[in-house]
């Protein structure tokens, strides 16, 4: 039976941060709302598996691996294999793409279904200004390898920043069409460094959405993903992610979050509420006991979920 919170919202997704570490220094990074130390005591692949198993037993069957940068973990393929052994409905990963050319085939073979690649600019110097790394050529090679690896879906994440990359919108539409990827246009979020730079860099991406809406040949709404519309325009598929001050986005949220050090969060903008490490590392607990105890906290966390914007 699908878990529902006090607002009737179903719980389908678990978003798992596998590390806080990153090889980039993006000026808009929100680090999944967990801007603590980068050297946190990360969960092991087996511990991540136990949490995913508990979630799966509760009909939470869709998982996304995030960071920091998840491909920094040398055991990321093992993590994917373990979660895939649970036969999830979906298993995805978000990456900056710097190491993706090396890992794409291995991740696909391990069972990864989808990949989101963050690209803040298609211009080398602008890309370096935003990320602190001259890595665009490596990332574009990673996109190519991801498409060749045969993932069910490849997405390009484009966070729009005022006066820096907001002139590249139609370049991104054309790029995503050429590489056969979905373009996900993301509004800057007031969290982490995004909060520090919010007033200076925030762009209302509704402007771009209105342009696309006028040109779209077809529109499909994704009911299980924040009621998000997909626009089919000029041979490309474009989505807009607008969480800030958006009650419709919040009312269609279907996820919990797990931090890299094993704490459950109900929302990007809210603090962690339960620490699972005390359960996962209790020497007196057998595997089944750990799973059952984690399930109890997932259920409690779900009942504490509530829309951030109402």
Choose the weakest-confidence range: 67-76, 169-178, 185-194, 233-242.
Answer: 185-194
Provide the token pair at 89.
């409905």
Q: For residue 40, what pLDDT is reported?
A: 87
Q: Taken in order 143, 63, 238, 165, is the CA torsion positive or negative?
A: negative
* Total residue length of the chain: 310
pLDDT in tens, 105-129: 999 999 999 999 999 999 999 999 9
**Residue carrying structure tokens 């925030």:** 202
Rounded Cα distance, 147 and 67, in Å? 22
What are the sequence ranges of the domains in the chain?
Answer: 13-303
Rounded Cα distance, 174 and 121, in Å? 13
Domain formed by 13-303, architecture: Alpha-Beta Barrel (3.20)
The sheet carrying 90-95 orders its strands as: 218-222, 228-233, 236-241, 182-186, 153-159, 114-118, 90-95, 62-66, 13-17, 255-258, 263-265, 274-275
pLDDT in tens, 16-73: 999 999 999 998 887 665 655 667 899 999 999 999 999 999 999 999 999 999 999 9
Q: Taken in order 77, 82, 86, 91, is the CA torsion positive or negative?
A: negative
**Residue carrying structure tokens 């690209």:** 119
């Amino acid at each position: 039976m699908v878990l529902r919170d006090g607002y009737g919202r179903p719980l389908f997704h678990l978003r798992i941060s596998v590390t806080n570490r990153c090889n980039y220094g993006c000026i808009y990074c929100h680090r999944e709302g967990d801007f603590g130390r980068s050297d946190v005591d990360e969960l092991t692949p087996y511990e991540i598996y136990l949490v995913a198993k508990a979630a799966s037993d509760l009909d939470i069957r869709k998982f996304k691996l995030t960071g920091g940068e998840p491909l920094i973990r040398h055991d990321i393929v093992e993590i994917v294999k373990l979660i895939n052994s649970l036969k999830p409905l979906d298993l995805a990963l978000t990456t900056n793409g710097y190491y993706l050319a090396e890992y794409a085939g291995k991740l696909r073979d391990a069972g990864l279904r989808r990949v989101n690649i963050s690209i803040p600019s298609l211009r080398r110097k602008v890309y370096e200004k935003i990320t602190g790394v001259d890595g665009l050529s490596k990332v574009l090679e990673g996109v190519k390898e991801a498409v060749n690896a045969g993932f069910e879906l490849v997405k390009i994440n484009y966070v729009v920043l005022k006066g820096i990359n907001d002139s590249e919108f139609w370049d991104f539409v054309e790029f995503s069409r050429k590489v056969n990827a979905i373009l996900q246009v993301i509004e800057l979020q007031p969290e982490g460094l995004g909060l520090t730079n919010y007033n200076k860099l925030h762009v209302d991406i509704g402007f771009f959405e209105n342009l696309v809406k006028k040109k779209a040949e077809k529109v499909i709404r994704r009911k299980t993903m924040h009621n998000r519309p997909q626009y089919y325009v000029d041979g490309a598929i474009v989505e807009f992610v607008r969480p800030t001050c958006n009650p419709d986005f919040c009312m269609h949220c279907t996820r919990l979050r797990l931090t890299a050090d094993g704490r459950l969060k109900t929302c990007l903008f809210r603090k962690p509420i339960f620490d699972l490490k005390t359960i996962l590392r209790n020497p007196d607990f057998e595997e089944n006991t750990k799973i059952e105890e984690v399930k109890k906290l997932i259920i409690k966390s779900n009942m504490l979920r509530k829309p951030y914007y109402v």
